[in-house]
Chain A
Amino acid sequence: MKTDLDIVSPPIPEEILQRVEAKGINRRDFIKFCTATTAALALPVSFIPTVAQAVEDKRPPVIWVEYQSCSGDSEAFLRANQPTAGEIILDLLSIEYAEVLMAAAGHQAEEAKHQAMEKYKGQYILIVEGSIPTGAGGGYCTIGGHSAVDDCKKLVQNAAATICVGSCSSFGGIPAAAPNPTSAVSVSSLVPGAAIVNLPGCPVNADNLTATIVHFLTFGKLPAVDRLGRPKFAYGKRIHDNCERRGHFDAGQYAEAFGDVAHRQGHCLYKLGCKGPETFHNCPTIRYNEGTSWPVMAGHGCIGCAEPGFWDTMSPFYRRLPKVPGFGIEDTADKIGIGLAAATAVAFGIHGVASCFRKGGSMEEDKTGKEAN
């Protein structure tokens, strides 16, 4: 009899595994990678061979460029230990240009980028890290004499698909935070209408990047996205709704200060300004660094880094609500509100006392006078 427990993945064809092994990748790691990525994409297990085939078969050219960035996304992708998703995908991708990785430098490297763009026109995957400064005629960021604005436009327009990694290339991120001195913008606002997918986060989660690439290899198109251009498989649920501390939130148990009893017992970080209820990301389920941990697990509230303009709208990071524009940093919406209510009560109290003493201001004379007769 067939039960749910009998559902097993169809095997990955032996010849694929042999070819992978010939490339020096451990067979077990490859199977694990394909299974984990299929799961990350929320695909059924029957897709594992399809994913394996796509990943093994195609070795797509990739150009990874950086503009106003801290290379944090490159680091997040590369600094993983163990033979990991990142490592496997690096073996399976043909990285034509990546500032952090490449040995070449200067004009040689720029020449390689240009050649790759011409050679693989309309075929390469472009990965953009960092925002693009449009101020001063694009002068705030130039590579090999070309402004980031020109460079990015050209690369995006010739790419098969563009993946924005991190909050800077997705939404402008920290360089675009007020007062945005360099007029930094995201890739999608620089090149509207292009085939772009945003993977915000500070840094991007490497597993989501891998899954997005694999989705593109498997289906030949970018994954389904939400209103902000983020793949639904990774950004379709609120952090708060999958949080391991959610039970404490619903119960009403909150840490009031870092290191207090409630904090040490792992209670909800809501009152410490956790932005989990405002942020869409799969951090609680996929976590960072091979599923080791994520901020809320480590005892610090979410700062909403995957949301647009997080540096401005999610701060103060240890308060629930943004600062009220025009008021001091210590004035919360509630303080101002209580002040307003108190002022109203006082004003009308005074008005009331004054009204009690006023004479001839009511209708009593012309009304009660007559009725009394």
Chain B
Amino acid sequence: MNEIRYVWQWPVRICHWLNVLSMIMLAITGFFIGRPFMTAPDTSMYIMGWMRMLHFSFAYLFTVSVVARIIWMFIGNEYSSWKAFFPWLTKDGRVAFVQMLRYYTFTGKKLPYAVGHNPVAATAYFGIFILFIFQIVSGFAIYGQYAPGGFWDGILGGLNVLVGNQWLRLLHHGVMWLLVGFVINHIYSGWLMDVKERNGTMSGIFSGYRFIKSKDL
């Protein structure tokens, strides 16, 4: 019998889709800010102004979403727990990690079964959270330059001195591209697992439910 289990609780899904929305918006507007690809025909327009306004608004949305997801790591079920992001801390996790890696590299045939994140994905997400936090911190540090002595300058302005504001900009830019690479990988892996596992990987992202074969557990 297949069990239909509620795996991804609603805060997890909401945070996921908020991240999707804000990352798309942040990448487009951020790219424009770094390299304005449209030129206004008239001074009465406000293209850069709107782009920056959107970038900062979605930056706040993204921050709220990431912070909420981190809080949920301590409230939610076992699949969304912070522990899920460190699969290599348990022996089973390590075995499954190697198995998954071998599957990806065509050196092994067996898929380790995971109800939540597979161990390789979970490890990648840990790295992605680090990149998220880096983007938030570096972004608000350079954003804070508009108001020296203000809130963001007060708490993050020291980074502009420590790292240098130009290097922060370069890193903020570079990490954006790393995240673009991640998104490509992420969508591909989601598709691959949906095809190969056949347990509702994709629809689970919308509904929260996955099909679990009890004998796989």
Chain A residues with CB under 8 Å of chain B are 226-228, 232, 236-238, 241, 247-254, 256, 262, 270-271, 275, 277-278, 280, 304, 307-309, 313-314, 320-322, 324, 333-334, 336-338, 340-341, 344-345, 348, 351-352, 354-355, 358, 360-364, 367-368, 371
Check if B71 is an interface residue, CB within 8 A of chain A: no
In the complex the two chains form, is B195's CB within 8 Å of A337's CB? Answer: no
How many Å lie between the Cα of A333 and that of B40 in the bound state? 25
Contact A362 B198 (CB under 8 A): yes
CA separation between A320 and B196, bound complex, in Å? 45
Q: Label chain B's interface by main secondary structure.
A: helix
Which residues from B are CB-within-8-Å of A340? 177-178, 180-181
Q: Which residue of A lies closest to B174 (CB)?
A: A333
Tell whether, in the assembled complex, residue B177 and residue A333 are in contact, meaning their CB atoms are under 8 Å apart: yes
Given A334-B173, A358-B106: A252 and B157 within 8 A (CB)? no
The residues of A that contact B197 with a CB separation of less than 8 Å are 362-363
Complex contacts, A358 vs chain B, CB 8 Å: 106
| Segment at the A interface, from B74-82, B127-135, B162-170, B202-210 | B162-170
With A226-B148, A348-B184: A321-B39 Cβ-Cβ less than 8 Å:
no
Categorize the interface residue count of chain B.
Answer: 35 or more
Interfacial chain A residues near B165, Cβ < 8 Å: 278, 307, 313
Report B-chain residues with C-beta under 8 Å of the C-beta of A278. 145, 165-166, 169
Q: A307-B165, A364-B198 are in contact. Are A252 and B173 (CB under 8 A)?
A: no
Contacts of B47 in A (CB 8 A): 251-252
Q: Which of B42, B192, B213 contacts A355 (CB 8 A)?
A: B192
Q: Is the CB of A314 within 8 A of B146?
A: no
Contact of B188 with A by CB under 8 A: yes
Question: Contact at B36–A271, with CB atoms within 8 Å?
Answer: yes
Q: Which residues of A contact B170 (CB under 8 A)?
A: 321-322, 324, 333
Give every chain A residue within 8 A of B173 (Cβ-Cβ): 321, 333-334, 337
Q: Which residue of chain B has its CB nearest to the CB of A364?
A: B198
Docked Cα-Cα span, A238 to B165, in Å, equals 12
Q: How long is the Cα–Cα vector from A243 to B30 in the complex, in angstroms?
A: 22
6 contacts between A and B (CB under 8 A): A248-B43, A251-B44, A320-B35, A334-B177, A362-B195, A363-B213
Q: B161 an interface residue at 8 Å Cβ cutoff?
A: yes
Q: Return B169 CB to nearest CB of chain A, in Å.
A: 6
Q: Which of B106, B177, B213 contacts A337 (CB under 8 A)?
A: B177
Residues of B78-124 whose CB lies within 8 A of A: 103-104, 106, 109, 111, 113
Once A250-B48, A321-B173, A334-B35 are accepted as A-B contacts, the answer to whether A363 and B196 lie under 8 Å apart by CB is yes
Chain A nearest CB: distance from B26 CB in Å? 14
Determine whether the beta carbon of A309 is less than 8 Å from that of B164: yes
Interface contact A348-B146, CB-CB below 8 Å: no
Contacts of A280 in B (CB 8 A): 145, 148
Instruction: Answer whether A361 and B111 are a contact pair too, CB < 8 Å, given A227-B157, A322-B170.
Output: yes
B158 within 8 A of A: yes
Residues of A contacting B57 in the complex (Cβ-Cβ under 8 angstroms): none
Question: A345 and B166 in contact (CB under 8 A), knowing A252-B47, A334-B35, A337-B176?
Answer: no
Closest to B51 in A: A252
Q: Would you give the shortest CB distance from B178 to chain A, in whole angstroms?
A: 7
Taking a contact as CB atoms under 8 Å apart, the answer to whether A249 and B145 are in contact is no
Beta-carbon contact of A251 and B167 below 8 Å: no
3 A-B pairs with the lowest CB-CB distances in the bound complex, closest first: A337-B177, A252-B47, A252-B40
Give complex CA distance A168, B104 in Å.
Answer: 55
Q: In the complex, A238→B103 CA distance in Å?
A: 53
Chain B residues whose C-beta falls within 8 Å of the C-beta of A363 in the assembled complex: 111, 113, 196-199, 213, 216
Distance of A249 Cα from B146 Cα, bound (Å): 15
| Contact of B164 with A344 in the complex, beta carbons under 8 Å | no
